[in-house]
Structures are given as structure tokens and as C-alpha cells.
A = this chain, B = another copy of it.
Amino acid sequence: MRVAVLGVGLIGGSIGLAARGLGHEVAGWDVDPDALAAAVERNAVDRAATSVADALVDAAVCFVCVPVGALGELALEALAAAPEECVVSDVGSTKRSLAAATGDERFIGGHPLAGSEASGIAHARPDLFDDATWYLTPGERSSGVLYERLHSLIVAFGARPAAIDAETHDQLMAVTSHLPHVLANVLIDQAGDRLREHGAAVPRIGPSLRDATRVAGANPAIWTDIFMSNAETLSEEIREVARALEQVADRLADSERDALDDWHRHAREQRRLLLEADLAGGPVHELRVAVPNRPGIVAQVALALGRGGVNIVDMALAPAPDNRSGSITLWVAGDGAAARAAELVGELGFPVHGAG
């Protein structure tokens, strides 16, 4: 299979390495010729393409792996050049604006939760996605065949794809990723000012401040754009935090010990619940779903399970000989999750087998 990678930094380079490790042929392109040369040097790409169109010749899958600020334009350029049967995806941290910009059935947004403060092809590695959640945001018109191809490739990379609609994705990222970055920035700024004011003796960073500000000022080349690309949702979440903080300050100022204690214990419970959910898993069940063979059906099933908190470990499509119907085989981890999956698919009106 031919894979095109546009932008060969940490993520693009790692996709190249992972794809080559699976025996695929990888064409790479980058706006920076030095980065592209380094990607060839590191064997992350087989072929250095001379243009976006050149990279996409005969491609079956294309990943657009540039910073969010440059993503929209390049993704549209890739779709214009891509073959009819090529799935085009991206790895941007926000998904709504690009989803809105294209209704192309070949486009399926993506976002691997991988990477780190380190950036660039020098830090790329084939196992970067091992066990990482990789969000996929198919649109209503996204092709089922292309969705399955992308999903399978991502599973082969070692990641766990999770379908989610673009808007929900951006809201979740606002609280789970962008907001922690904003709070880290604000906290380090205030702590830094205070510590300098008082000229306090070193060492002065305790473990709680260190943990809470680990991502402060992370990679400015990409983070300002990430904030901007999710500005509306993020600004609302930030104002919500500010309101919650004012309430805590009021309770402190009014010595409302019991209310503070309840609030603190509630936070403890919230963290416990999230960690528990994070650790969920169990034996993998196989579910076969009979579906009509029409556009959007795979996305519909994947999104329904995603909304229901069910993680699809793997999936396969099989069209029936009449080409008007077919089946989707889903693998789901955990007894409870498998039962929930069967129920959710049943609610969509599709017969399910094998949820046992």
C-alpha cells in the first residue's frame, strides 16, 4: 500500500517509520527540504516527493501532519491532488474547523494522543503510537471503506482508534488538554512573579507545582495555533474555570469550611472515576453487525459506540455479494463494553450477533 505523509516532523516521521515497518511504501513531502532529507536519512520515507501532488501519486492513505495553523490549506490541497480511492486524514489537535471546511467523502479527521515536548524528525520513532488513543472524526459523508482502511492501519501502528464527532472532540480537548496548558501557563506566571518578589531561597518548586506546570509554555511554535483553533470553546471553558475559582475564593473568604470540604472530596471522587474509566478493559469480544451498504454507515456505528463510551479495538468490513448489504465486525474490550455495544448497535436498528 502507498502512504503519503505531508509534513515529516515528529508525528509525520513516526507515521512513516511505523508504515515502513509494516511493509508499506511511504512517499514524504515537507515544506522544509532539510527535514525531508533527514526523513529519508532516517528511513522514515522511501521517496522524497517534489510536491504535494507528487507525494499523492497512487496513494491509498494520506496523512497531513503539519501544525494546526497550516493544516487547513494543506489538507484541501491534498484532497485536490489525491486519487479517488485515497483516504486523507490529518493529525491536528482540533478537528472542527477543518471538518467544516470539507465535505469530501475521502476526508476523515484524526488526532493521535501522542507526541511530547520533543519535536522534529530527529525524535520520530516507529512505536510512538503504541497504546495511544487515536481519535477519528468521520463526517456524515465519509466513506466506510476508507474509514475501515484508516482504522486498520492505525490499529497496525499499535494505537487505539476512537470515533468521535469533530465538535465533541474539540470540547473534550478543550478541558482535557488545552485547559491544562492554559492553567499551567497562568500558574507558573503567578508563582514566578511571587517567588521573585520575595527572593525566596532555592529550591522552591515543590512536586505539586512541578506537576501542575509541566506543560507550561509547551512548544510555542504549535500551541498558540492550537489555542487559536479552538478559541471559542476554550474561552468558554476558561471562563467557567474562572467562575469556579471565584466561588472557591468566596468560600475561603467566608470561612465556609464544610462547603470547601465537600468541594475537595468531590474533586477526589471525580479523579477516582476518571482513573477507573481510564483503566477499563477486559476480554475482547467479537460482534458482527449486519448493515445496509450505504455511505456513512460505518461512521454512524463508530460514532454511536464512541458516544456510548465503547472503544472499538479493531474492525473489519465485508460487503455481501449483492453489494447492497454487508457486515461490520467489531472487536470490543470488556464484558460490559461488549454488551453496551450490542445494545447501542441494536438501537440503530441493525442486527447484531456474537455479543456473548
Q: Mark A219-246, 1 if CB is under 8 A from B, else 0.
A: 0100110011001101111111111111
A118 within 8 A of B: no
Cβ of A239: which chain B residues have Cβ within 8 Å of it? 245-246, 249
A113 within 8 A of B: yes
A187 within 8 A of B: yes
Whether the pair A267, B204 counts as a contact (CB closer than 8 A) is no
A348 within 8 A of B: no
Q: Mark A298-314, 1 if CB is under 8 A from B, else 0.
A: 00000001111111000
Cβ of A175: which chain B residues have Cβ within 8 Å of it? 187, 190-191, 194-195, 209
Q: Which of A175, A180, A202, A231 has the most CB of B within 10 A?
A: A202
Whether the pair B224, A264 counts as a contact (CB closer than 8 A) is yes
Chain A, range 271-320, C-beta contacts under 8 Å to B:
271-275, 277-280, 305-311
A353 within 8 A of B: no
Whether the pair A212, B209 counts as a contact (CB closer than 8 A) is no
A261 within 8 A of B: yes
Whether the pair A252, B227 counts as a contact (CB closer than 8 A) is yes
Chain A, range 179-207, C-beta contacts under 8 Å to B:
179-195, 198-206
Q: Bound complex: CA of A280 vs CA of B187, how far in Å?
A: 22
Whether the pair B245, A202 counts as a contact (CB closer than 8 A) is no
Q: Mark A254-280, 1 if CB is under 8 A from B, else 0.
A: 010100110111111111111101111
Q: Bound complex: CA of A118 vs CA of B40, how far in Å?
A: 50
Min CB–CB distance A268 → chain B (angstroms): 2
Q: State which of A44-52, A82-90, A122-130, A164-172 sits at the interface with chain B.
A: A164-172
Q: Mark A309-351, 1 if CB is under 8 A from B, else 0.
A: 1110000000000000000000000000000000000000000
Whether the pair A227, B113 counts as a contact (CB closer than 8 A) is no
Q: Bound complex: CA of A236 vs CA of B246, how far in Å?
A: 10
Q: Bound complex: CA of A182 vs CA of B133, how far in Å?
A: 28
A177 within 8 A of B: yes
Cβ of A305: which chain B residues have Cβ within 8 Å of it? 201
A94 within 8 A of B: no
Q: Bound complex: CA of A245 vs CA of B181, how far in Å?
A: 12
Name A228's closest neighbour in chain B (CB-CB).
B257
Whether the pair A217, B270 counts as a contact (CB closer than 8 A) is yes
Of the residues B176, B194, B213, B217, contact of A205 by C-beta under 8 Å: B176
Name A259's closest neighbour in chain B (CB-CB).
B224
Whether the pair B206, A113 counts as a contact (CB closer than 8 A) is yes
- Given the known inter-chain contacts A212-B215, A264-B220, please indicate yes or no for A199 contacting B270, CB distance below 8 A: no
Cβ of A261: which chain B residues have Cβ within 8 Å of it? 220, 224
5 contacts between A and B (CB under 8 A): A133-B203, A202-B309, A235-B253, A241-B242, A242-B243
Chain A residues proximal to chain B, CB less than 8 Å: 113, 133, 160, 162-164, 168, 171-172, 174-177, 179-195, 198-206, 208-209, 211-218, 220, 223-224, 227-228, 231-232, 234-246, 248-250, 252-253, 255, 257, 260-261, 263-275, 277-280, 305-311
